[in-house]
Amino acid sequence: MTQAGIRHDTETVPGTVAPPPELADWLAAVAQSRNRQAFARLFQWFAPRVKRYLQRQGADPDLAEDLAQETLIQVWRKADQYDPAKAAPSAWVFTVARNLRIDRLRRQRLYEVELTDEADTEDEHGNGHQRTLERLDAGRLTALVGALPAEQVQVIRLAYFEGLSHAEVGKALDVPLGTVKSRLRLALAKLRTAMG
C-alpha cells in the first residue's frame, strides 16, 4: 500500500505493467523547465491508469475521464510541488486524483442537500428543484455561512465541506449526535431563510 492507502500500478501486482523508471525524471523535467515532451509521456502513462482508478472508486466513465484530465492539468501546474523524498511519482499523482474526486463529491453534496419543503412540493408540479438551484448564489452563500455562529460553522464545514458523517462530526467536536443534528438544522434553516 502507498500514501493514503491507495494501491497503485507502481506495486508488483500480477498482470500489471511495471511503471517506467523515468517517471521521476519526466516529472522533474516538467517541474524545472515545463518540458512538453516529458509531460506528454506522463500524460500517456497516467491518463488511462488514473481513469481506471477513478472508475474503481465509483466514478462513471465520463466523470472519470474529466477528473483524469483535471489530474494531469494539476500535475502540469504543480509539478514543482512534488517531493520525491515523500512519495513515488505514482503515489503523488494518484493522491492528486483522489483529492480532486473528493472535492467534486463535496461540491455535488452541497448542492444536493436540504431542499426546502416548498421546492419538494413544487417538484411534483415541475421546476421546483430548478428554481431552488437557480436561487443558489455561491458567493452569497459563503458570506452567509461565515455569518453563522462558530459552532454552526464548524458542523457545516465538517459535514458538507469535509464530508464527515454526523457521527464523525460529533466525535471530532466531542458533542452528542443530537447536538450535531440540532446545529445543522439551525444553520440550514438560517441559510434557507437568508437565501429567500
pTM over the 0.85 mark: no
Contact 104, 112 (CB under 8 A): no
CA 19 to chain centre: 26
Q: Which of 27-31, 79-83, 117-121, 180-184 has the lowest mean pLDDT?
A: 117-121
For each of the domains in the chain, give its residue range(s) and CATH number, in order of start.
3-110 (1.10.1740.10), 116-195 (1.10.10.10)
Q: Round to whole Å and give the CA distance between 18 and 77.
A: 26
* pLDDT given at position 11: 37
3-state secondary structure of 9: coil
Per-residue model confidence as pLDDT tens digits over 146-166: 788 888 888 887 777 667 788
Nearest of 37, 63, 65 to residue 50 by alpha carbon: 65
> Phi/psi zone of residue 16: left (φ > 0), alpha (ψ -120 to 50 degrees), beta?
beta
CA dihedral 104, 195, 187, 156 (to 10 degrees): 20
Q: Round to whole Å and give the CA distance between 155 and 174.
A: 12
**Which range in 9-23, 63-77, 97-111, 176-190 is most confidently predicted, on average pLDDT?**
63-77
Q: Round to whole Å and give the CA distance between 141 and 128.
A: 19
Q: Would you say residue 140 has pLDDT above 60?
A: yes
- Per-residue pLDDT averaged across 186-192, rounded? 83
Per-residue model confidence as pLDDT tens digits over 7-29: 444 333 334 567 788 888 998 99
Q: Round to whole Å and give the CA distance between 59 and 70.
A: 14
* pLDDT given at position 139: 58
Q: Would you say residue 183 has pLDDT above 70?
A: yes
Q: Round to whole Å and give the CA distance between 136 and 192.
A: 10
pLDDT higher at 163 or 91: 91
Instruction: Name the pLDDT band for 85 (thresholds 50, 70, 90).
Output: confident
pLDDT higher at 5 or 83: 83
